[in-house]
Structure 1
Amino acid sequence: MFKRFSSLQWKSFFRSSNLGKSLGIKILMGFFGVYMLLSLAGMGTGMYFILKKVFPDQSPMWSISQYFVYWILIELFLRYFMQKLPVMDIKPFLTTPVKKSTIAHYILGRSAASIYNLLTLFFIVPFAIVLLFNNYPVLNVVLWTIGVMAIVFCINYVNLLVNKNEKVLIGIGSVLALGYGLDYFGIFSVKTFFAPIFHALYAYPITVFVPIALAVLVYYINYGYLRNKIYLDATLKPKSVQANTSDMSWTRRFGEMGSFLQLDLKMIWRNKRTKSQVFISILFVFYGLVFYTQDIYSSMMPMKAFVGIFMTGIFLSNFGQFIPAWDSSYYSMMMSQNIPMRKYLDSKASLITVSVVAMFFLTIPYVYFGWDALAINFGCALYNLGVNIPVILYFGSFNKKRIELDQSPFGNMQGTSATQFLIMLPVLVAPIIIFSIFYYIFNLQVAVIVLSVLGIIGFSMKNYLLNIITEQYKKKKYGMIAGFKEKAS
């Protein structure tokens, strides 16, 4: 039966009417996936020697065991966003003599074959092979590898249980930030506390049964949950949802633009995919810690400029690149009304402007790492305001793929086209090139001033640029309407 299910899924994929429409993206993502797997294999091969160099007084096995607790938390955190339950259309099978238990086992079995599980496998296996070549005990290394993969499956099935619970996400993120903070400021060594627990998987091979037992337990908890949900009339039961209303009357002070602004704010707050953009933007404020806390990046100013553009413009990039596809479900209705396109674009620009300013204020604490950090973030914020907002709105006129707002926000390529990949060049690459040229020819102050001046010039030309963009949207109007009507695009 498993073979039959796999065959049906395979045929469904290749017979889909949408296969050709996004084939280029699928191939590109496939190459990216292969590149990632090969990179992880290379990293796993070299990790033994890196740990020996960084921690010469410790065994590499002990060193890597210290970071296992962070790896588990980070993987849980990232999987919440990226991994979805591998669903299949089960309704046709519910009227046939196919056991619900078989369907549930197949769905969970497909989840075990997820690429997210392969990522760890491609890292751990080369690392284990290097250990064997360095005369580590074969039995210990093999059982340790099995134990680590059992932990991966635990993470996989735990994620399927908690994937829709935002409170769990906040809890994981808080524990991760708290643990890192305690370690970084030397208050309490979380790494040292958990290292013996994970090192026991290598030192005492019999402990491999613990993660295996946990993986089996979480699997059957998932199985019981899924099996109880597989009913033909499961979706017929009406859901009682508490309505949260807000008239947002304060937006009326913005005149005609206020109605569009109100629609955008309601859309962001009420839908999964748009709401997730807000949470991601806030979380990426901590992205700078990856660079500012590492000595290797201390002299790499262009990298800090990248971080500044990225942190202050994360909402601009994530939300702005899909304008106006966010409104695709009712875009044709809007275009049939007497609605000024310029006001529509003004509201989008205003919303993104507020996000850039808010993100800059959230990055102000990076002044702890020096005034240079604050200056770079300030210059990058001005550049985002003056240059990147018009650029991202202009590229939005090429969006013709529909977005269903109520679908899963992550691991979702809906609405994605070649435009989303091309837009990263002017938004992220161009300012870094400009900054680097003036930084290496002159100095940091000149590079920051150039970014700031470009942003101010762009901001002063806002009306002129928006008029050009408005004409572009009017030219592309009917093409976008036709594209947004294709629900399966």
Structure 2
Amino acid sequence: MFKRFSSLQWKSFFRSSNLGKSLGIKIVMGFFGIYMLLSLAITGGGMYFLLKKIFPDVSPMWIVSQYFIYWILIELMLRYFMQKLPVMDIKPFLTTPVKKSTIAHYILGRSAASIYNLLTLFFIVPFAIVLIFNGYPVLNVLLWIVAIIAIVLSINYVNLLINKNDKVLIAIVSLLVLGYGLDYFGVFSIKEFFAPVFHALYAYPLTILIPIALALFTYYVNYKYLRDKIYLDAKLKSKSVEANTSDLAWTKRFGEMGSFLQLDLKMIWRNKRTKSQVYISLLFVFYGLVFYTVDVYSNMMPMKAFVGIFMTGIFLSNFGQFIPAWDSSYYSMMMSQNIPMRKYLESKVILITVSVVGMFLLTIPYVYFGWDALAINFGCALYNLGVNIPVILYFGSFNKKRIELDQSPFGNMQGASATQFLVMLPVLVVPIILFSIFYYIFNLEVAVGILSVLGIIGFAMKNYLLDLITEQYKRKKYGMIAGFKEKAS
């Protein structure tokens, strides 16, 4: 039966009317997946020698055991966003003599074969091979690999249970940040606390029974849940949804733009893809730590300018590049009404402006690394406000691909076109080039001043630029309406 299910899924893919796009996307994602796996394999193979060089008096296995708790939390967080739940059209099978238990086992089996379960394996196996060649006991290392595989499968099945639960995501991120903070400031060593737990999987082979039991338990919980949900009338039952009584009345103070702003805020909060953009933007506030805490980047000011543009403009880039495709499902209806295009675009400007200002405020703690960090982030925020907002809106007039808001943003190329790649050149590359030129010719103050002045000039010319962009949207109006109606685009 498993073979039959796989055959039907294969035929469903190749007989789809959307085969061309689906196949193209899968080929691109396949190359990306192969690149990631090879990179992990190379990193895993070299990790032993890297750890030996950095920590010559400590066993590499002990170091890996110290940080494994962070690996688990990070993998849970990444899977929350990136891993798609296993999907199968089960309705045709519910009227045939196919056991529900078989369907449930097949769905869970497909999930176990996910590429995300291979990521850890491609890192751990080369690392383990190097351990064996360097005199580590073969049996201990092999059983350790089995234990790690069991932990990865446990993470996989736990993710199926908690996926799309915002409270769980907040808890995972909080634990990750709290643990790193306690370690970084020397309050309490989380890695030292968990190191003996994970090192025991190598030192005491019998302990592999614990992760294996955990993997079987999480599999059984998922199996019970799926089997109880596989009923034809489960699809017919009306869905009970708790009403959200928030009317966002405060948006009325923006006049005519208030209704558009209210529509955008509701859309962002009620849909998976837009809501994920908010969470991703907040997480990238910590992106600067990668550069400010590593000595090799300490004197690379252009990289810090890139971080400033990126952190303060992450929502601008992620959300703005798909304007007005976010409204594609009802864009034709909006354009048939007496709705001023200028007011529609101004509401987008207000939303993105608030995001840039908010992200800058969240980056103020980087002043801990020096006043230069605050100055760079401030200049970058001004540049985003005055220059990048008009640029991102202009490029939005070329968007003609529909977006389904209830789908995950990761591994999802829906709505993407060459426009999304081209817009990153003026948004990210141009300000870094400008900053670098004036930094190396003059100094940091001049470079930051140039970005700030350009941002202020753009802000002063906002009305003129918005008029030009509005005319561009009016010219492209019917092309966008036609493109948004194509659901298979």
TM range (shorter): over 0.9
- SS of residue in 1 equivalent to 2:142: helix
Tell me the residue number matched to 1:187.
Answer: 187
Partner of 1:439: 439
CA contact (8 A) 2:325 2:403 kept: yes
Report what 1:457 is aligned to. 457
Q: Is the 8 A contact 1:44 1:125 kept in 2?
A: yes
Structure 1 counterpart of 2:466: 466
Aligned pairs for 1:344-383 (under 5 A) are 344-383=344-383
CA distance in 1, matches of 2:25, 2:305: 29
Q: Is residue 65–residue 198 contact of structure 2 (8 Å, CA) maintained in 1?
A: yes
Partner of 2:163: 163
Corresponding residue for 1:144? 144
Check 1:391–1:28 CA distance in 2 against 1; reply closer, same or farther (3 A cut): farther
* Conservation of the 8 A alpha-carbon contact between 2:387 and 2:458: yes
Deviation of residue 291 (structure 1)?
Answer: 2.1
Structure 1 match to 2:412:
412
1:208-247 maps to which residues of 2 (within 5 A)? 208-247=208-247
**Is it true that 1:301 corresponds to 2:301 in the alignment?**
yes
Please give the root-mean-square deviation of Cα atoms over the aligned residues, in Å: 1.5
The 10-residue stretch of structure 1 (135-144 or 375-384) with the greater mean CA deviation from structure 2: 135-144
Contact 2:271 2:405 in 1 (8 A): yes
Cα distance, 1:155 vs. partner?
A: 0.6
Q: Could you tell me whether the CA contact under 8 Å between 2:312 and 2:356 is conserved in 1? A: yes
- Structure 1 residue 247, shift from structure 2 partner: 3.1
Alignment check: 8 A CA contact 1:162 1:168 kept: yes
Letter in 2 for 1:202: Y
Alignment map for 1:305-316 (pairs within 5 Å): 305-316=305-316
Distance 2:7 2:431 in 1: 48
Relative to structure 2, which stretch is displaced further, 360-369 or 396-405? 396-405
Listed as ranges, the matches of 1:60-459 within 5 Å are 60-459=60-459
Tell me the CA shift for residue 94 of structure 1: 0.9
CA contact (8 A) 1:367 1:374 kept: yes
Q: Is the 8 A contact 1:84 1:160 kept in 2?
A: no
For 1:482 and 1:43, the matched residues in 2 are separated by 47
Distance 1:339 1:214 in 2: 57
The count of residues paired between Structure 1 and Structure 2 equals: 489
- 1:93 to partner: Cα distance: 1.0
How far residue 423 of structure 1 moved from its aligned partner, in angstroms, is 2.1
The 1:447–1:413 alpha-carbon spacing in structure 2 relative to 1, beyond 3 Å, is same
Deviation of 1:300 (Å): 2.0
AA matched with 1:222: N
Shift of 1:23: 4.8
* TM-score normalised by structure 2 residue count: 0.96
- Give the C-alpha shift of residue 452 in structure 1: 1.3
Q: For the residues of structure 1 that align with 2:256 and 2:75, how far apart are their CA atoms?
A: 45
AA at the equivalent of 1:346: E
The farther-off stretch of 101-110 and 392-401 is: 392-401
Question: Residue 437 and residue 380 in structure 1: after superposition, are their counterparts in 2 closer, same or farther (change >3 A)?
Answer: same
C-alpha displacement at 1:443, in angstroms? Answer: 2.2
Moved more, 237-246 or 405-414: 405-414
Q: How far apart, in 1, do the equivalents of 2:468 and 2:21 lie?
A: 30
Shift of 1:397: 1.3
Residue type of the alignment partner of 1:225: Y
Q: Distance in 2 between matches of 1:368 and 1:14?
A: 55
Return the alpha-carbon distance in structure 2 between the equivalents of residues 469 and 205 of structure 1.
66
Measure how far apart 1:225 and its partner are: 0.5
Q: Structure 1-normalised TM-score?
A: 0.96
- For structure 1, which segment, 345-354 or 267-276, has the greater mean C-alpha deviation from structure 2 after superposition? 267-276
Give CA deviations for 1:39-78 in whole Å, capped at 9, x if unaligned.
1111111111110111111011111110000000111111
1:372 Cα offset (Å)? 0.8
Deviation at 1:424, TM superposition (A): 2.0
Taking only the aligned residue pairs, the percentage that are identical comes to 86
CA contact (8 A) 2:323 2:393 kept: yes
Which blocks of at least 5 consecutive residues in structure 2 are unaligned?
none
The amino acid of 1:437's aligned partner reads I
- Please list the CA deviations of residues 242-274 of structure 1 after superposition, one character each: whole Å capped at 9, or x if unmatched: 211333333233222222112112222222222
Q: Which deviates the most, 28-37 or 171-180?
A: 28-37
Distance, in Å, in 2 between the alignment partners of 1:201 and 1:5 is 36
Q: Which amino acid aligns with 1:3?
A: K
Point out where structure 1 has 5 or more consecutive residues left out of the alignment: none
Task: Check conservation: 2:82, 2:408, Cα contact below 8 A.
Answer: no
Paired letter, 1:80? Y
CA contact (8 A) 2:81 2:408 kept: no
Q: Distance in 2 between matches of 1:391 and 1:32?
A: 29
* Structure 1 residue 22 displacement after superposition: 5.4
Q: Which amino acid counterpart does residue 212 of structure 1 have in structure 2?
A: I
In 1: Cα distance, 2:468 partner to 2:30 partner? 37
Q: Which one is further off, 191-200 or 205-214? A: 205-214
Deviations 1:298-344 (A, max 9, x none): 12222211211111111111111111111111100111112111111
SS for the counterpart of 2:21 is coil
What secondary structure, in the 3-state scheme, does the structure 2 residue paired with 1:67 have? Answer: helix
Which stretch of structure 1 is more off in the superposition, 433-442 or 149-158? 433-442
How far the C-alpha of 1:429 sits from its partner, in A, is: 2.2
